[in-house]
Amino acid sequence: MPVIAAQPYEYSFPAGKLALIVIDMQRDFVEEGGFGWVLGNDVRPLGAIMPVVRRLLYGFRAARLPIIHRREGHRPDLTDCPPSKRARGRGKLGIGDKGLMGRILIDGESGNDLVPELAALPGETVIVKPGKGAFYTTRLAHLLEMQGIGHLVFQTTMREANDRGYECLLAEDATESYFPEFKAATLAMIRAQGGIVGWTAPTDMIVKALR
C-alpha cells in the first residue's frame, strides 16, 4: 500500500482508492462581501490557502483520483433551511437575504459558486449540502460506495466521515479558520489518542505520495 508521512503515524491507503473532498471553498466564505465577511470575519486567511488547495487538486488530478467538491447552499425557497439555522449569527444579513453577491448561501447565486481558482473540472463531482456535514441529505456516501472508496483526504472537517468508518486524512495546510485557535484545536483533536479521529499531513507529503 502507498503511505503518506503523517501524524500521529503513517497513513496508508489502497492504490487507486483514495478520494479528495474539498469543502466550502465558495465565494460566500472566502471573499470579501460574502457571508463570512458580513458576519465580521477576516476572510484573508482563507484566501491565503487557495494556492495550497490548488496544489492538492493538481496532485489528485495528475494521479487520476476522484475529486469531490462540496459547498453549502440552500434551495431558493429555503425549505431545506431550518429556522434555527437562519436565526444564528445575528449579523446584518442572514441566509437567504440579498448580499453583495446575490442571496446569501442560496444555490445558483454568484456568492454560492466555488472560487474561480478552485473551480471543478468536467468529471469532478460538486455536492450542494444544506447542513454542516458532507453526508447529511447528500449522495456522497452512495458515490463513494459505488467507487469502492474507503479512504478520504479532507481539506477541512471530517468527523462525520470518521463516524461512518472512513479512514480520514486532513491536509493540514490546505485548511483554515477565521479563528486560528480553532484550527490548532482541530489538529490536536484529530491526532489525539493515537489518531482516534484520523491523521493530518502537509500537502507536499500527500502530493509526493500520489506521485
pLDDT band for position 96 (50/70/90)? very high
The per-residue pLDDT for 159 is 84
CB under 8 A, 24+ apart: contacts of 32-38: 33/99, 33/100, 33/101, 33/111, 34/99, 34/100, 34/101, 34/104, 34/111, 35/93, 35/95, 35/99, 35/104, 35/105, 35/111, 36/178, 38/91, 38/92, 38/93, 38/99, 38/104
pLDDT digits (tens, 9 = 90+) for 41-84: 999 999 999 999 999 999 999 999 999 999 999 999 999 999 98
The per-residue pLDDT for 157 is 73
pLDDT higher than threshold 80 for residue 89: no
Strand, coil or helix: 36: helix
Fold (CATH) for 3-210:
Rossmann fold (3.40.50)
The per-residue pLDDT for 104 is 95
Q: pLDDT: is 208 or 137 the higher one? A: 208
Closest by Cα among 41, 19, 21 to 31:
41
- Whether a cis peptide bond, with omega within 30° of 0, leads into 8 is yes
pLDDT digits (tens, 9 = 90+) for 116-144: 999 999 999 999 999 888 888 899 999 99
Q: State the DSSP code for 168.
A: E
pLDDT digits (tens, 9 = 90+) for 157-193: 788 898 899 999 999 999 999 999 999 999 999 999 9
Distance between CA 211 and CA 192 in Å, rounded?
Answer: 29
